[in-house]
Structure formats: structure tokens, C-alpha cells
Structure 1
Amino acid sequence: MNWVFLILAGIFEMFGVAMINKLHKDRNAPAFLLMTAGFGASFIFLAIAMTTLPMGTAYAIWTGIGASGGAILGMMLYGEPKNFKRILFITMVLGAAVGLKLVS
């Protein structure tokens, strides 16, 4: 079950990153509150997941989901480049996260 909480933490991390971009564009209170809520939920779910998962594994997977998910959201929603190298390195980050899960 804590793996589900860890994945949720990563998803909320992605949401928080997307809200940073929205906050830079809109500069309003709702964008700030959404960003704060996203990161807050992310930290709460990460803390719950770390009650049984090793800290290093949980943190690496959480940051991997957040970083690769943020890059993917940037490509899908904000017109960032979708070249082969970016996709290759995102795939490598996700592959490393899966590898950590397999050896934990």
C-alpha cells in the first residue's frame, strides 16, 4: 500500500511543478494555493510511504516521478521540445526508478 502512497506523492509533486508554471503566468492567489496544496499533499504522501519503505529508495522514486513527470507535462502542455534525447533521458530516469523498486 505504501507504494501506492509513493506514486501519489510523485503525482502531487508533478501537479505542484505544473502549478509553479501557472503561478509564474497568472500571479494570483488560486495558483499559489494550488501549488502549495500540491506540494503539501506530495510531502504528506511521501512521509506516509516512508514509514515502511527505505528512505533512499522512496526519495529516489519520488524525485524520479516528479522530475520525469514534470518534463513530460512540459512537453505535453507547454510546448517544450519533444526530441529524442529528452525522451531517452526521461526513459532512463523512469527505468532507474523501476530498477530501484525491483531490488528493494
Structure 2
Amino acid sequence: MNWILLIIGGLFETGFATCLGKAQETTGKESYFWWAGFVISLFLSMFLLYKAISVGASPIPIGTAYAVWTGIGAVGAVFMGMFLFNEPVTFWRMFFVFTLIASVVGLKVVSN
């Protein structure tokens, strides 16, 4: 269950990065909507990280949890940047994103 909480928390980290980017692009009431999404996503992301490291019979070690959480957020933010903000898609960029994914999966595999 803690791994599911951690993965959802990582997705909310992607959400707060995306909301931050959109808030910077917009003005007026639309900007407030994105800022609200940023704050809500930030809170939920941090809360789920906290729950993953402190709840249940086998909490995830903080080093592993933080690395996986930030990895999910980083990969998600890169993909959202490509899809929503027209950031470049290059071979080397994708190579290192997939290296990061492999590292996150590796941490999950070697964790108890």
C-alpha cells in the first residue's frame, strides 16, 4: 500500500510542476486557478510522501522513497513539458529520461 501512496504522490508532484508552469503562462482568474492547483498538488504530494514513509507494517525508507518520488515527478514533468509546453524531444533527452526510469524501477526492486 505504501508504494501505491508513493506513486500517487509522485504523480501529484508532476501535477504541481505542471500547474506552476501554467500559472506562469496565464494571467487573471485563470492564473489563480493554476496557483490553486499548484498549492493543492503540492500539499497532496508531500502528504502522500509522508504517509508512504511512516504508515503501515513496512514503511518505505526515506532515501528510497524520496528518490522514487522525485524520479516520478521529474519524469512526469519532462513529459508534461514536451506535451504541454513544446519542449524539445531529442535522443539524448529521452535516453536520460529512460535511464532515470530504470533507476527508479531498480530502487523499487532492491528495496525490502
**TM-score bucket of the superposed structures, by smaller chain:** over 0.9
Structure 2: segments with no counterpart, 5+ residues: none
* 1:76 Cα deviation after fit: 1.5
Question: Which residue of structure 2 aligns with residue 100 of structure 1?
Answer: 107
* 1:36 Cα deviation after fit: 0.4
Q: Identity rate of aligned residues, in percent?
A: 38
**TM-score for both structures, normalised by structure 1:** 0.97
Structure 1: segments with no counterpart, 5+ residues: none
**TM-score for both structures, normalised by structure 2:** 0.90
Structure with bigger gyration radius? 2
Query: RMSD between aligned alpha carbons?
Result: 0.8
Q: Residue 82 of structure 1: SS of its match in structure 2?
A: coil
Amino acid at match of 1:3: W
* 1:81 Cα deviation after fit: 0.6
After the TM superposition, list the runs of 4 or more consecutive aligned residues in structure 1 that deviate by more than 6 angstroms.
none
* 1:89 Cα deviation after fit: 0.3
Alignment: residue pair count: 104
Question: Which residue of structure 2 aligns with residue 86 of structure 1?
Answer: 93
Question: Which residue of structure 1 aligns with residue 10 of structure 2?
Answer: 10
* 1:40 Cα deviation after fit: 0.6
**Over residues 14-46 of structure 1, what are the superposed CA-to-partner deviations in whole Å (9 max), with x where a residue is unaligned?**
000000111101142211111000111000110
